[in-house]
A = this chain, B = another copy of it.
Amino acid sequence: MTMPYDTSAEAIRERLRACGLRPTRQREELAGLLFGSGDRHVTAEGLHREAMVGGTQVSLATVYNTLHQFTQAGLLREVVVDSGRAYFDTNTSRHHHFFNTHTHELADIHGDAISVGRLPEAPEGTRVEDVEVVVRVTPARV
A83 within 8 A of partner (CB): yes
9-residue interface stretch from A15-23, A27-35, A106-114: A106-114
In the complex, A125 Cα to B134 Cα: how many Å?
18
Instruction: Report whether B140 and A126 are in contact in the complex, using a CB–CB cutoff of 8 Å.
Output: yes
Q: Mark A119-142, 1 if CB is under 8 A from B, else 0.
A: 110110111111111111111110
In the complex, A129 Cα to B100 Cα: how many Å?
9
Instruction: Report whether B119 and A114 are in contact in the complex, using a CB–CB cutoff of 8 Å.
Output: yes
With beta carbons under 8 angstroms apart, the residue of B83, B134, B138 that contacts A83 is B83
Max chain B C-beta neighbours (<10 A), residue from A98, A107, A133, A135: A135
* Interface residues in A38-93 (C-beta closer than 8 Å to B): 78, 80-87
The DSSP consensus for interface residues of chain A is strand
In the complex, A119 Cα to B137 Cα: how many Å?
13
With beta carbons under 8 angstroms apart, the residue of B87, B100, B129 that contacts A136 is B129
- Which residues of B are found within 8 Å of A135, using beta-carbon distances? 119, 122, 128, 130-132
Chain A interface residue count: which class?
Answer: 35 or more
In the complex, A52 Cα to B132 Cα: how many Å?
35
Instruction: Report whether B125 and A114 are in contact in the complex, using a CB–CB cutoff of 8 Å.
Output: no
In the complex, A101 Cα to B127 Cα: how many Å?
11
Of all A-B residue pairs in the complex, the 7 with the closest CB atoms, nearest first, are: A126-B137, A115-B117, A130-B136, A83-B86, A127-B140, A129-B136, A113-B120
